[in-house]
Amino acid sequence: MSNIPLNIDWQQILLHWMNLAILVGGLYFLLFKPVTQFMEKRKAHYQELEDQAAGKLKEAEDIKAQYQQKLDGAEEEMHEARAKVQQAVEKSTQEQLAEAKKQAAQIVAQARAEAEHSKDKVMKEAQRELKKLATEAAEKIAFQSDVDPFDQFLNLAEGGKGNESR
């Protein structure tokens, strides 16, 4: 039996297989290997970037935690400072109130002294006025009648009996 009836040439098949092996080997060395190396480098590069990003994220979270602690401490310090300021304001207010009460007491005492002085002055003036009126009244009474003023005084001192007898 010969190979002719099917027209199969084993030599041609082997050559095609060799061409295919050479083509696959050449493509492997020319395309697949460089592309694979490129992909590995790219994967390593992106892995390195991801690791750097994760490191920076962790560092940022640590810094955030530190700042949060500082903020909490600052809030506490502000609260303490407010308390101190409020105490100082209350103390100042009490001191001012005490000073105001002291000044008010001084003003009231001075006003009372001035009122007492005015009262004394008015009383003296009223006494002078009464003396003057009494003197004028006595002069009018004395000069109204023909009787001697001394006698008239004596009569009035005895109870007014001198006028009834005349």
DSSP at 22: H
- Rounded distance between C-alpha atoms, residue 19 and residue 41, angstroms: 32
Using the structure block, give the residue that is written with the tokens 């790219």.
42
**Kind plus residue range of the DSSP H or E element containing 62:** helix 33-144
**3-class state of residue 2 by DSSP:** coil
Residue 47: the pLDDT is 96
DSSP assignment string, 86-111: HHHHHHHHHHHHHHHHHHHHHHHHHH
Q: Tens digit of pLDDT for each residue in 63-101? A: 999 999 999 999 999 999 999 999 999 999 999 999 999
Residue 106: the pLDDT is 94
